[in-house]
Amino acid sequence: MPRPPARVLTVPVLALGTLLSATACGALEPESAAKAPVSAAPSASAPGTEPSRASAPALTEAQAQAALITEADLGEPWTATRGAATWRDSMLKATAKKADCRRLLDSLYAEQLLGPEARTRAVTGLDDDWDGAQIRYQVVDHPAEEVDRTLAWLKSLPRECAEFTAVTATGRTAYAQVVEADLPDIGDARQGLRIGLSVATTPEGDDWTTLTLDLVAVRVGDDAIVLTNGGLGEVPSDATRAAAELGTQRLTEVRRQGRAQV
């Protein structure tokens, strides 16, 4: 049975943009990780678009929850999560020599992409029952200028951390590759990455497991959405883009309604 494409349910009065294809690095083999090409991709922000600086009240807990996506938005095979994926500790809990690469791994493991001072207002998780991928989705309250600094840093990573070596908490060697991923023209600013991380499963390094992880951050005013979609099997990039697009629409509408009520 072929896998159905991820669907996007529109929010009333908001129009969908055109979905673009994401750059995929695919599964990395340790001997080829250093040779894999890095694809060029467009800018993190749409040309000629100024970030929204409109003053708006902070989201209430109910509003932040309303801005989340659910399994009903993406359809089969996505379901409500049953807990954190086992690869989080075995693969993402790792360190690298280069500061930017180490910061990326630390941010992914701690789920604090925008820094520990950013306030996560709501969070949810979805599991892909067919291929074992998992989406982690956050609505975050953080000043626009701080979010934009993080987006600029993310944009630099396909150059600064295109290919690097890390060591997991269990002492296993990991080979990583970072490429930029295309996103729809959503929010005030956005950035997407696809990360491949191959970790030796034996001390001799004769067997490897590869994690593929999509990372997306989108700013909407002084709020942001951050999502990851990762797994040890197929990681559908269409689900990543659909979740990012729908989530941006939902957060935009929640913020608009909040301002209208003030």
Concatenating the DSSP letter of every residue in 212-240 gives EEEEEEEEETTEEEEEEEEESS---HHHH
pTM: 0.78
Angle, vertex CA 62, rays to CA 61 and CA 66, nearest 5: 120
Q: Is 256 within a domain? A: no
Report the CATH number that the domain containing residue 141 is assigned in CATH. Answer: 3.40.1000
Q: Is 158 within a domain? A: yes
Q: Is 23 within a domain? A: no
For 96-149, the pLDDT digits (tens) are 999 999 999 999 999 999 999 999 999 999 999 999 999 999 999 999 999 999
Give the pair of three-digit tokens for residue 209.
């497991």
Q: Is 5 within a domain? A: no
Q: Is 203 within a domain? A: yes
Q: Is 224 within a domain? A: yes
Q: Is 7 within a domain? A: no
For 151-184, the pLDDT digits (tens) are 999 999 999 999 999 999 988 899 999 999 999 9
User: Which range of residues forms the domain containing residue 199?
Assistant: 63-234
Task: State how many domains the chain has.
Answer: 1
Q: Is 17 within a domain? A: no
